[in-house]
Structure 1
Amino acid sequence: MYERAYRIAIPNRNMYNNPVPGQRKNYNNYTSLGTQVVDRFVNHIQASLTPPFKRWVELKAGDSVPEEISDQLNKAYSDFTKVGFEMLDASNFNVAISESYYDLAVGTSCLLVSEGDDNAPFIFTAVPPEQVTLVEDGYGRVYMIFRKHKIEAALIKETWPTARLSAEMQRLINSNPLCDVEVLEVTYKVGKKYYYEVFNNSTQDKFVESVMSRSGWVITRLGKVPGEPYGRGPVIVALEDLQMYNKAKELMIRSAQMSTFGMYTVADSDIINPNTLVLSPGMMIPVSRNAGANGPSIAPLPGAGNLDMQQFMLADLQNDIKTIMMNDRMPPEIGAVRSATEYALRGQSRQIDVQSYFGRLQYEMVQPLWQNMLTIMYEKEVLGDIPPELITIDNMLLKVRVVSPLAKEQGIIDMQNTIQTIQTAQALAGLEAVNASYKMEDLPYILARDSGMTQDLLRTKEEREQFMAQAQQAAQMQQMAEMAGMSSAAA
């Protein structure tokens, strides 16, 4: 199923059937619609969730942490967020995540997070799903990952500096360093530890074995079905429509050829065998006669089919495909003039479609990605003196809050609902009842927090209380000064 999806929608990323580098992969594709809708899907997901060179998450203390402690932790987590994005922007993340989103459109993305050097602190690799085999535990979580791929012999020691090479492999590297060696990487979890092993797949020799505190893999699935370790993304959902659209385009091209060049019957005394007759543009078909009483010896063959109906069918298929791939946010350029309300409603509908994926993207992509990053940052000693349990994303002590455009839009909706509720309560019960029911003094802070404002601009609870006390003291002093002035004037 994945091979069919890649072949028709993302042919250049189709790694099935052992392709040769530089090989043409779009044979039998008569339309680029699949590539167009996937490109727009990837651009939309990246701009909504991980916009390049922008801060799209925020590390924060969990809700169970007391406010007095969380204020101190949030300052440290705010610094960690800054450092994380500086290191992220210095790496190849924006390139690799875009490639990974193409695989996610089919259903499963496999992103590998590796430790880099000082110039590129992280190295991200978008691994094709064709190379990966996933194994789930009883709760539907991926706990074992196999990757089989080829690597040049000369790069083995560079990729795995601690590799213990056999004498046979060392001779191979020395004699033919450019030959490809098929390796099998295995990553699995036992308890809280991750085990990593690398084998020479042809000889089954294990030359790397290590225990790690992180997996390194970020496996994300869309449209996951229980019991299946892989996802069924929007390309899989639209697969039949894409295939039908491609076939309809092929038939339209053949129909146009026949309409342009025509087909003809030619008088002949032989008998036609319909089992061997192949219709093609410009061909001449021998027949006994095509008119009575020794009529014309050559005549055009009447055409068949209705191009208008074909166009109608193609338009329906195209709309269905664009809807599935969330490409229908803009009305068609032809037809009646659309109102601004329709454009706004289409934009809201698009955001709702993306939010259906938001929970799984948060759980399977954002959190594992930042957990790998924090672990590497801790091992590089760029986080300072902090206990390792405080950089474990468990949503109790530490959580990752997404502040991308998609999450901000949801925050704005929550803000609008809050303001509308307060206004309704004030209209029905009055301002005094609102002040008695709601913590109005905390409203500006909560609205700023939910809108995604950076933590650097928000006061802590102690700072807010101190500011309010100073403001009240200043108001009292001003009131006393006014009263003194009035007394002196009366005297």
Structure 2
Amino acid sequence: MAEEAAGGQSSEIKALKARRGNAQTIRDQFQPLLDDAFKYAIPYRKDTRDDGPGAERVSEVYDHTAIVSAFRFGGKLQSDLVPPGDTFFKLEPGPLVTDEKLRDDLARELDGVRNVIAAALLDGEWDNAFAEMALDLSAGTGAMLILEGEGEKLARFMTAPISEILLEAGGYGDISAIFWKRKWSVRSIRETWPRAKFGTWLSETFEKKPETEVELFQDTVWDPKKKRWVHTVWCEQNDTPLSVKPYRTCPWLTPRYFKVSGEVYGRGPVMLAMPTIRTLNTAQRYTLQAAAIAMIGIYTAIDDGVFNPDHSPIAPGMFWKVARNGGTLGPSVQKFPEPRIDLSNLVLNDMKLGVQAAMMDQSLPPDGAAVRSATEILERVKRLANDHFGAFGRLVAEIIVPLVKRLIEIAYARRLIQYETPIDQLLVRVSVSSPLAIARETSRAQKIIQWVEMTKMLLQERSKLVVKDEEALLEVGRVMDVPQQFIVTPEERERMRQADAQAAAIANAAQLGGQIAPLVQAGAALAGPADAATAPPPETAV
């Protein structure tokens, strides 16, 4: 623990407060964009710091298209990238592992590591946390904290609303620090960090009023000297940090959907569609006003001293006192012309379709009806993948790869795996096997199959001089994420070749023996009488 600095708080807390202040300044410049996103598209993902729990949140929203599309975008992203219940990533040898036997041995070992760490994603907590993060990601940036679990839980996944997060940009456009602020009760702090050193105020509050809430800061920064991520937990009511823990991998996932050069926060489909979302909301408000005017009406009245609108309620069976209902001067009360609601509906429908298209809220045609060909299925899969192609690389780099690295570190710390497998993408690499990734790889597998088929059709038996059938089909199996237990190993292939060679030798020998025996018999039959006449007499006993 660092020595106490001037002012009571430790030097490391003062350093974190300075970095947090700089991150807050950058966030304030970006905040208006997030405010619009929270107001019109993801109102239920804003923290309760300003409005408190139970706030309505949609009092200024007149059209729910953006809200529904944001939920559908999150669900579509989850089903395409990290489908619940499926293992959506692969650990496999990198391009530097060229020896076939070594590659297959390493693949089987990595498959075991994959099964261990994938078990942490099957208890439902990961699925819930990602669903919440995907909603934030529709606005551009998500944040999820992954810490080591206890007991039967390998890891804990906690999604923080982006409104509670401050980010600090690194030198290469990455994230070098994550600052999280949220109110915690003193009791929850003690239960979460039982070994924390409480000061006088926290100790007394825990004894007298344990449900008192304080702002708790969880700051994670990269230490370039130690080559570690340092996760520090602190609060203003304590002079020293409550917890300081280093990690080899970053405990945060902070994906950005799209990113503008020079900005640390991302921009998502909500921000791309924001001009239309704001216009749609305003147009819907005017349409509702026009509908109210059409149903209830606006009335003009002549100031003749007889009709009093304050004493003329609009209700069935009411009688108004007026000076006249007709005549040369016209009626005392007359209804104002109704607005054209049908024209506004045409504009609204076009804008709704535009918002849904920008937020990828467009489903594929139904899968029923006639049986579809392989080409049609392939085209449907490609269309599914094209929605996220622009952001796919960033999503993999900022979600899948750091998630696998983090789970490997946690599993190694829990002694569930023997080695902390390094992911360098050269010797060992992480690849994605979700529907979105398989859709991307489908074209590659299709090219291999088409080339093999074309070569065999043109060269027939001589195609072996050009195509390595076994290697090509093995590569297609890896692309399609076929489990390793269904792929024949090099040793098994060698034993199969030897067995085939022995069977062929036996068959050849049997065939050769079958051809020689009739010749011998035929020769003996032809030479029999002559040989008997010239044969020497049998020997007699003496």
C-alpha displacement of 1:342: 9.7
Which residue of the partner structure matches residue 162 of structure 1? Answer: 195
1:216 Cα deviation from its structure 2 partner: 0.8
Q: 1:422 corresponds to which letter in structure 2?
A: V
In structure 1, how many angstroms separate the alpha carbons of the residues matched to 2:380 and 2:435? 17
Aligned to 1:187: 220
What are structure 2's unaligned runs of at least 5 residues?
Answer: 1-32, 306-313, 316-321, 367-371, 522-542
The reply on whether 1:348 has 2:385 as its aligned counterpart is no
- What displacement does 1:126 show? 0.6
d(CA) in 1 for partners of 2:219, 2:65: 37
CA distance in 1, matches of 2:288, 2:376: 35
Paired residue secondary structure (2:197): coil
The aligned runs of 1:37-186 (5 Å cut-off) are: 37-67=69-99, 68-90=101-123, 92-186=125-219
Aligned 8 A contact 2:199 2:238 in 1:
no
Deviations 1:218-257 (A, max 9, x none): 1100111111111101111111212222222222211111
> Which deviates more, 375-384 or 84-93?
84-93
**For 1:33 and 1:22, how far apart are their aligned partners in 2?**
22
Segment drifting more, 131-140 vs 475-484: 475-484
Instruction: Report the Cα distance in structure 2 between the residues aligned to 1:356 and 1:465, rounded to whole angstroms.
Output: 44
Higher Cα Rg, which structure: 2
Pick the aligned partner of 1:455 from 478, 484, 488: 484
Distance 1:433 1:248 in 2: 70
What code does the residue aligned with 2:67 have? T
Distance in structure 2 (CA, Å) of the matches to 1:204 and 1:294: 83
Matches within 5 A, 1:229-378: 229-269=264-304, 293-304=328-339, 306-330=340-364, 348-378=382-412
SS of the residue corresponding to residue 473 of structure 1 reads helix
1:12: Cα distance to partner? 1.6
Following TM superposition, by how much is the alpha carbon of 1:186 offset from its aligned partner in structure 2, in angstroms? 1.4
Cα drift, residue 110 of structure 1: 0.4
Q: Which residue pairs with 1:26 in the alignment? A: 58
1:394 aligns with 2:424: yes
Of 38, 42, 45, the match for 1:6 = 38
State whether structure 2 residue 459 is matched by structure 1 residue 430. Answer: yes
TM-score by length of 2: 0.80
Partner of 2:5: none
Asked if 2 retains the 8 angstrom alpha-carbon contact of 1:91 and 1:123, the reply is no
Shift of 1:149: 1.1
Amino acid at match of 1:456: Q
In the alignment of these two chains, the number of paired residues is 469
Deviates more, 1:369-378 or 1:470-479: 470-479
**1:65 deviation in Å?**
2.3
| CA–CA distance in structure 1, aligned partners of residues 38 and 500 of structure 2 | 64
- Quote how far apart the aligned CAs of 1:347 are: 5.7
Q: Is residue 185–residue 211 contact of structure 2 (8 Å, CA) maintained in 1?
A: yes
Is residue 2:462 matched to residue 1:421?
A: no
SS state at 1:430 partner: helix
| Separation (CA, whole Å) in 2 of partners of 1:421 and 1:401 | 24
- SS at 2:150 equivalent: coil
User: Which is further off, 340-349 or 357-366?
Assistant: 340-349
Normalising to structure 1: TM-score of the pair? 0.88
Once the two structures are overlaid, the 10-residue window that deviates more, 447-456 or 155-164, is: 155-164
**1:212 alignment counterpart:** 247
Specify whether residues 167 and 91 from structure 1 end up closer, same or farther in structure 2 by C-alpha distance, changes over 3 A only: farther
How far, CA to CA, are the matches of 2:200 and 2:95 in structure 1? 56
Once residues 228 and 240 of structure 1 are traced to their aligned partners in structure 2, the CA distance between those partners, rounded to angstroms, is: 20
State which drifts further: 319-328 or 474-483: 474-483
The residue type equivalent to 2:43 in the other structure is P
1:439 aligned to 447, 468, 478, which one?
468
Please tell me the root mean square deviation across aligned C-alpha atoms, in Å: 3.0
Change (3 A) 1:464 1:259: same
Q: Mean alpha-carbon deviation: is it higher for 353-362 or for 479-488?
A: 479-488
Deviates more, 1:199-208 or 1:105-114: 199-208
Deviation at 1:109, TM superposition (A): 0.9
**Do residues 226 (structure 1) and 255 (structure 2) align?**
no
* Cα distance in 1 between the residues matched to 2:324 and 2:221: 76
Question: Once the 2 structures are TM-superposed, how far is the Cα of residue 294 of structure 1 from its aligned partner?
Answer: 2.4
- 127-136 or 394-403: which moved more? 394-403
Aligned residue identity for 1:14? K
Moved more, 467-476 or 3-12: 467-476
Residue type at the aligned position of 2:215: E
Could you tell me whether the CA contact under 8 Å between 1:216 and 1:372 is conserved in 2?
A: yes
Change (3 A) 1:239 1:392: same
Q: For 2:460, give the aligned amino acid.
A: L
SS at match of 2:287: helix
Identify the match of residue 383 of structure 1 among 401, 404, 417. 417
Native 8 Å contact 1:100 1:109 kept in 2? yes
SS in 2 for 1:198: strand
Contact 2:193 2:242 (C-alpha < 8 Å) held by counterparts: no
SS at match of 2:347: helix
Distance 2:344 2:414 in 1: 61
Is the partner of 1:326 in helix, strand or coil? coil
Q: Partners of 1:345 and 1:401 in 2: how far apart?
A: 23
Change (3 A) 1:289 1:364: farther
Amino acid at match of 1:357: A
What secondary structure does 2:216 align onto? Answer: strand
1:91 deviates by 5.7
Deviations 1:388-443 (A, max 9, x none): 3xx1211122211211112222233222122223334455x523553222212322
- Residues 240 and 55 (structure 1 numbering): CA distance in 2 closer, same or farther, change over 3 Å? same
- SS class of match (2:510): helix
Contact 2:202 2:237 in 1 (8 A): no
CA contact under 8 A between 1:330 and 1:343: conserved in structure 2?
A: no
Q: Deviations over 1:269-288 (max 9, x none)?
A: 48xxxxxxxxxx99xxxx99
Distance change >3 Å, CA 163–CA 214, structure 1 → 2: farther
Task: Check conservation: 1:268, 1:288, Cα contact below 8 A.
Answer: no
